[in-house]
Amino acid sequence: MDASDQKINLKKKLASYGLNWHYEILPRQTKKALMFLSEEKWLKESNWYLAGGTALVLQARDIAVMKITAISQRGRKRDFFDLYWCAKNIEPLEEIIKRLKVQYPSVAHDYHHILKSLVYFEDAESDPEPEINFDTGWKKVKNFFIKEIPEIADKIMK
Protein backbone atom coordinates (compact mmCIF):
# COMPACT_ATOMS: atom_id res chain seq x y z
CA MET A 1 0.00 0.00 0.00
CA ASP A 2 1.50 3.34 -1.00
CA ALA A 3 1.42 6.56 1.05
CA SER A 4 -1.63 8.02 -0.71
CA ASP A 5 -3.64 4.82 -0.07
CA GLN A 6 -2.56 4.90 3.57
CA LYS A 7 -3.65 8.54 3.82
CA ILE A 8 -7.07 7.72 2.33
CA ASN A 9 -7.55 4.76 4.70
CA LEU A 10 -6.53 6.87 7.68
CA LYS A 11 -8.90 9.67 6.63
CA LYS A 12 -11.76 7.14 6.36
CA LYS A 13 -10.99 5.75 9.82
CA LEU A 14 -10.98 9.24 11.33
CA ALA A 15 -14.11 10.27 9.44
CA SER A 16 -15.90 7.27 10.93
CA TYR A 17 -15.40 8.97 14.32
CA GLY A 18 -16.81 12.23 13.00
CA LEU A 19 -13.44 13.99 13.10
CA ASN A 20 -12.76 16.98 10.89
CA TRP A 21 -9.40 15.84 9.52
CA HIS A 22 -6.81 18.41 8.39
CA TYR A 23 -3.89 16.17 7.53
CA GLU A 24 -2.07 18.91 5.63
CA ILE A 25 -1.46 21.03 8.76
CA LEU A 26 0.18 18.26 10.80
CA PRO A 27 3.94 18.28 11.30
CA ARG A 28 5.80 15.86 9.03
CA GLN A 29 6.83 13.58 11.92
CA THR A 30 3.24 13.36 13.17
CA LYS A 31 2.04 12.39 9.70
CA LYS A 32 4.74 9.74 9.52
CA ALA A 33 3.84 8.35 12.94
CA LEU A 34 0.12 8.24 12.14
CA MET A 35 0.76 6.45 8.85
CA PHE A 36 3.02 3.91 10.55
CA LEU A 37 0.60 3.29 13.41
CA SER A 38 -2.43 3.04 11.14
CA GLU A 39 -0.79 0.04 9.44
CA GLU A 40 0.20 -1.81 12.61
CA LYS A 41 -1.74 -5.08 12.80
CA TRP A 42 -2.35 -4.91 16.55
CA LEU A 43 -3.77 -1.39 16.20
CA LYS A 44 -5.93 -2.34 13.23
CA GLU A 45 -7.52 -5.05 15.37
CA SER A 46 -8.15 -2.67 18.26
CA ASN A 47 -10.31 0.39 18.49
CA TRP A 48 -7.75 3.21 18.72
CA TYR A 49 -8.83 6.78 18.28
CA LEU A 50 -7.56 10.34 18.37
CA ALA A 51 -8.33 12.55 21.33
CA GLY A 52 -8.22 16.28 20.84
CA GLY A 53 -7.42 15.73 17.19
CA THR A 54 -3.68 15.23 17.61
CA ALA A 55 -2.83 12.88 20.47
CA LEU A 56 -2.96 9.15 19.87
CA VAL A 57 -4.73 7.39 22.69
CA LEU A 58 -4.41 3.65 23.08
CA GLN A 59 -6.84 1.27 24.68
CA ALA A 60 -6.27 0.28 28.29
CA ARG A 61 -5.31 -3.24 27.11
CA ASP A 62 -2.45 -1.74 25.10
CA ILE A 63 -1.35 0.40 28.03
CA ALA A 64 -1.35 -2.69 30.27
CA VAL A 65 1.21 -4.34 27.98
CA MET A 66 3.27 -1.16 28.05
CA LYS A 67 3.18 -1.25 31.88
CA ILE A 68 4.79 -4.70 31.82
CA THR A 69 7.59 -3.29 29.70
CA ALA A 70 7.94 -0.30 32.05
CA ILE A 71 8.13 -2.51 35.14
CA SER A 72 10.73 -4.77 33.53
CA GLN A 73 12.86 -1.69 32.82
CA ARG A 74 12.46 0.47 35.91
CA GLY A 75 9.95 -0.99 38.43
CA ARG A 76 8.12 2.12 39.67
CA LYS A 77 5.35 1.72 42.25
CA ARG A 78 2.82 3.58 40.08
CA ASP A 79 3.38 1.08 37.25
CA PHE A 80 2.66 -1.85 39.58
CA PHE A 81 -0.56 -0.14 40.71
CA ASP A 82 -1.58 0.55 37.11
CA LEU A 83 -0.91 -3.02 35.99
CA TYR A 84 -2.73 -4.36 39.05
CA TRP A 85 -5.78 -2.29 38.14
CA CYS A 86 -5.66 -3.46 34.52
CA ALA A 87 -5.37 -7.10 35.59
CA LYS A 88 -8.35 -6.74 37.92
CA ASN A 89 -10.56 -4.68 35.59
CA ILE A 90 -9.53 -5.13 31.95
CA GLU A 91 -8.02 -8.56 31.34
CA PRO A 92 -6.22 -11.24 33.37
CA LEU A 93 -2.51 -10.71 33.95
CA GLU A 94 -1.61 -13.88 32.05
CA GLU A 95 -3.37 -12.59 28.93
CA ILE A 96 -1.66 -9.21 29.23
CA ILE A 97 1.72 -10.93 29.38
CA LYS A 98 0.86 -13.15 26.40
CA ARG A 99 0.00 -10.07 24.34
CA LEU A 100 3.59 -8.83 24.54
CA LYS A 101 4.36 -10.98 21.47
CA VAL A 102 1.35 -9.59 19.60
CA GLN A 103 1.89 -5.94 20.46
CA TYR A 104 5.67 -6.02 20.02
CA PRO A 105 6.31 -8.83 17.51
CA SER A 106 9.72 -7.62 16.41
CA VAL A 107 11.14 -7.58 19.94
CA ALA A 108 12.75 -10.60 21.58
CA HIS A 109 11.04 -10.96 24.96
CA ASP A 110 13.02 -12.33 27.89
CA TYR A 111 10.09 -13.80 29.82
CA HIS A 112 12.36 -14.96 32.64
CA HIS A 113 13.45 -11.35 33.24
CA ILE A 114 9.92 -9.98 32.75
CA LEU A 115 8.31 -12.40 35.20
CA LYS A 116 11.09 -11.88 37.74
CA SER A 117 10.69 -8.10 37.50
CA LEU A 118 6.97 -8.42 38.27
CA VAL A 119 7.82 -9.75 41.74
CA TYR A 120 10.88 -7.57 42.35
CA PHE A 121 9.64 -4.67 44.48
CA GLU A 122 12.85 -3.35 46.05
CA ASP A 123 13.23 -0.39 43.67
CA ALA A 124 9.57 0.56 44.08
CA GLU A 125 9.58 0.46 47.89
CA SER A 126 11.00 3.98 48.20
CA ASP A 127 8.54 5.47 45.69
CA PRO A 128 5.66 7.52 47.08
CA GLU A 129 2.20 5.97 47.10
CA PRO A 130 0.50 6.98 43.85
CA GLU A 131 -2.83 8.78 43.92
CA ILE A 132 -5.38 6.15 42.93
CA ASN A 133 -9.13 6.10 42.51
CA PHE A 134 -9.74 2.53 43.60
CA ASP A 135 -9.54 0.70 46.92
CA THR A 136 -6.21 -1.07 47.41
CA GLY A 137 -2.81 -0.64 49.00
CA TRP A 138 0.81 -1.42 48.20
CA LYS A 139 0.78 -4.65 50.26
CA LYS A 140 -2.28 -5.93 48.41
CA VAL A 141 -0.72 -5.07 45.03
CA LYS A 142 2.50 -6.91 45.91
CA ASN A 143 0.59 -9.94 47.21
CA PHE A 144 -1.37 -10.10 43.96
CA PHE A 145 1.82 -10.33 41.88
CA ILE A 146 3.47 -12.74 44.34
CA LYS A 147 0.46 -15.07 43.97
CA GLU A 148 -0.09 -14.70 40.21
CA ILE A 149 3.43 -14.77 38.77
CA PRO A 150 4.44 -18.30 39.85
CA GLU A 151 1.23 -19.70 38.31
CA ILE A 152 1.75 -17.73 35.10
CA ALA A 153 5.43 -18.70 34.96
CA ASP A 154 4.49 -22.39 35.11
CA LYS A 155 2.33 -21.93 32.00
CA ILE A 156 4.49 -19.54 30.00
CA MET A 157 7.93 -21.00 30.71
CA LYS A 158 6.99 -24.55 29.62
62-86 pLDDT tens trace: 889 999 999 999 989 999 999 999 9
Higher pLDDT, 114 or 8: 114
Report H helices in the chain: 3-15, 28-38, 41-44, 60-73, 77-89, 93-98, 100-103, 111-117, 122-125, 138-156
Interval 83-107: pLDDT, tens: 999 999 989 999 999 999 888 888 8
| C-alpha–C-alpha distance, residues 4 and 17, integer Å | 20
Nearest CA-CA partner of 152 in 95, 71, 83: 95
